[in-house]
Structure formats: C-alpha cells, structure tokens
Amino acid sequence: MTARRKIHDEKPKTKAPDMSDSTLSPTEHSGPYSALEKMTPREIVAAMNQLDRSVADAVGQAGEALAALVEICTQKVASGGRVFYLGAGTSGRLGVVDASEIPPTFGVEDVFIGLIAGGDSAIRQAVEGAEDDAQGGIQDLEAAGAGPGDVVVGIAASGRTPYVLGAVNWARAKGWATGCITCHPQGALAAAAQWPVVVDTGAEFLTGSTRLKAGTAQKLVLNTLSTGVMIGCGHVKGNKMVDMKLANIKLLERAARMVIESTGCTEAQARAALEAHGSVRTAISNLNFS
C-alpha cells in the first residue's frame, strides 16, 4: 500500500513577495508602525494622523499631471463628451461617490459616470472576483455607451487591477483619451494611461489597506478633477455653485444668499426669483436686468 502524503505536502507552495520588487505597490510595504494591537486608542489616533499629514503633500507633487488631466477632461466635456471613472473596491466607490455629486452640485447629468467592478451592488458589499475580470471594465464601458469623445479614467491604488487596467488598455488602443489615478509609480496602469496622475503615498498604517492614505489621496484628486472640469465648463460664477439643484431647504437658503450677494435685492425678491426660475443663475440674470 502506498503511504499517504502528509497534508502539508499537498499544499501549493508560494513564494514570499520580494519587498524590493518594483512591481509591488508601495502601499503593500510595511509602514513605520508595528504591533498595532498593542497601541492605545490615543496612540492609534496620533500615529494615523501623523501619516495622513503626508497625503496632501503627495497630491501636491502630482499637481502638474493632475492639471493636465483636468485640461483634457475639460476639453472633452466642453465638446459634449463624458468622463468615465472605473475602479474596484474602495477606488470604485470613491469614483461613484464623486460622479454622483456632480448633478446636484453643478446641475448637469451624465457627464461624470462612475463604474465599479461588480456593478452597483459592489458599492455596499464586495463582489468576489469582480476586480480580477479584465473584460469586466470593457463590458461596462460598452454598456454605458462610451465613445471616442469621452475620457476613460482608471482608479487603482495598486496600479494593476485587471478590471481597470483592461478597460484603460482597451480604450487607449481605440484612440480614446485615457487617464488614471494610482499610487504606484511603476505600476502597469501609470504606463497604460496617456494622462496618468501618480500620487505616491507610500506604505499604509495598516499594510495594504488602501482605503486609508491611498483612498484619501484618490478622494482629493477626484475632488480637484471634477471641480476643475466644472469650473472650466462654466458651471461656477465667482466661487458660487450657480447651477446647483435646489433640492432642499438648506440649498434654497444658500441659493437665496447667492442671489442677494450678486444683485443686492431683498430676501423676498431673491426667493421669488428662485421660485419663478428654479435656478440661481437665471434668478440673478433676471434680477440684474429688472
């Protein structure tokens, strides 16, 4: 009878990652703090705050690249195009959040489109294997009607997510404008996109948890990108959101203040103009000519 092999002999052998390997994202390296489970709540708060302070500086160092991405996106949107964000997990959720804020803030629909690996259900709950589908992002772009007048922006801290990388490579091969937001300077995504924004946030407080520093950096970049595009496309006057939707009492009050500041009218006149026209921009225009 043949002897039965030991269980541990039947397990697949894996090679430990080389921490100096340039293909490994900096977010996967070990950070300056260890034995986190031994830290007090106050120590955790202080340590995380200390690391978080570096994020804004890292975004600032990517300023030229981010400005270039803002410029090409502004050109495309001004010509009737759209900006498609693609990401998985935290990166995908951040893209969806930013895209969803554009209609109420700037009064425009279907300009920024957030696509996440696994579909809308992945916004709340992880979808197994969705980010590993290199065809998934392509299929989502096709289903959303993306075209040559649009910009495809891949979001992936690691710079290697197949869902994102497959879509960006596909779009660029078709001659479309492509950008990315990543935290891996040597990652495949940074090399694939025409307008890459690389924010090297380094190691995370919790190794590999890119919802932390990398996620914060991505949110800052997305804030700047979409706001810059909307300013460039004329949806801001001064520093005011003159095209915002008047969706609740707080926004109506803000709108009235904008109208009063811009025209010198009374509060009653401002509210009457907003009720009549449903738009800060139009209310101001009509009161200035009345």
Kindly state whether residues 220 and 257 are assigned to the same domain: no
The pLDDT mean for the chain works out to: 91
Q: Note whether 51 and 179 are same-domain residues.
A: yes
Is 157 a member of any domain?
Answer: yes
Average pLDDT over residues 2-16: 32
Give me the pLDDT at residue 4, please. 30
The conformation of residue 130, written as its DSSP 8-state character, comes to G
Residue 22 has pLDDT above 60, yes or no: no
> What's the CA gap between 10 and 279, in Å, rounded?
68
Burial class (CB in 10 A: 0-12, 13-18, 19+), 39: middle
Q: Which residues pair with 115 in a beta bridge?
A: 86
Is the same domain home to 228 and 262?
no
Same-domain check for residues 268 and 138? no
Q: Is the pLDDT of residue 7 over 50?
A: no
The pLDDT assigned to 17 comes to 39
Examine the domain organization and report whether 54 and 104 are in the same domain: yes
Asked whether residue 176 is domain-assigned, the answer is yes
Task: Decide: 165 and 136 in contact? Cβ < 8 Å.
Answer: no
* Least confident range of 9-18, 35-44, 261-270: 9-18
Structure tokens at 1: 């009878």
Q: 126 lies in a domain?
A: yes
What pLDDT, in 10s, does the model give residues 154-208?
999 999 999 999 999 999 999 999 999 999 999 999 999 999 999 999 999 999 9
Same domain? 77 vs 129:
yes
Note whether residue 13 is domain-resident: no
- Residues 282 and 284: their CA atoms lie apart, in Å, by 5
27 is a domain residue:
no
- Residue 129: pLDDT band by 50, 70, 90 thresholds? confident
The domain that contains 191 carries what CATH number?
A: 3.40.50.10490
- Are residues 221 and 181 part of one domain? yes
Give mean pLDDT, residues 16-43: 81
Q: With 80 as the cut, is the pLDDT of residue 104 above it? A: yes
Confidence (pLDDT) at 290: 53
Establish if 10 belongs to a structural domain: no
My answer on whether 274 and 136 are in the same domain is: no
Domain that holds residue 198: 41-232
Q: Provide the total of helices (H) and of strands (E) in the chain, helices listed first.
A: 11, 5
Residues 63 and 193 in one domain: yes
Compare 18 and 33 and report the one with higher pLDDT: 33
Q: Tally the domains of the chain.
A: 2
Q: Are residues 219 and 92 in the same domain?
A: yes
Chain segment 211-237, per-residue pLDDT in tens? 999 999 999 999 999 999 999 999 999
189/267 same-domain check:
no
49 plus 185 within the same structural domain: yes
- Does residue 131 fall inside a structural domain? yes
Catalytic residues: 101, 131
Q: Is the pLDDT of residue 101 over 80?
A: yes
Has residue 1 been placed in a domain? no
92: phi then psi, degrees, rounded to nearest 5: -65, -40
